Amino acid sequence: MWLGAGVEAAETAGQESAIIRALNEHAKFLRGQLGRRIDMKFTPDLKFRHDESFDTASHMDRLFNDPRVRADIEHADDQGED
């Protein structure tokens, strides 16, 4: 099972690798803390990874806002294309 949570702050930009490494190095400690606070028979192992979907979405936004792409989209809308 995959469960995600996100953290984004300007102060951490460009430091994702170091942050992920530090979180994974302390995963056992964090798991222990989590296990004391949640009501589950077994506390899952924690594995942290950088979610790049936000970067991809931002890139797509920039592409759609490009004047050349916007002109193509508006032209397609005028033509009644899908």
pLDDT at 6: 66
Pair of tokens at residue 13: 């930009």
pLDDT along the chain (82 residues), means of 10: 65 82 94 90 88 83 88 78 55
CA dihedral 21, 22, 28, 34 (to 10 degrees): -120
pLDDT at position 32 is: 92
**Tell me, what's the pLDDT at 1?**
59
Contact between 58 and 13 (Cβ < 8 Å): no
**Which pLDDT value is given to residue 27?**
94
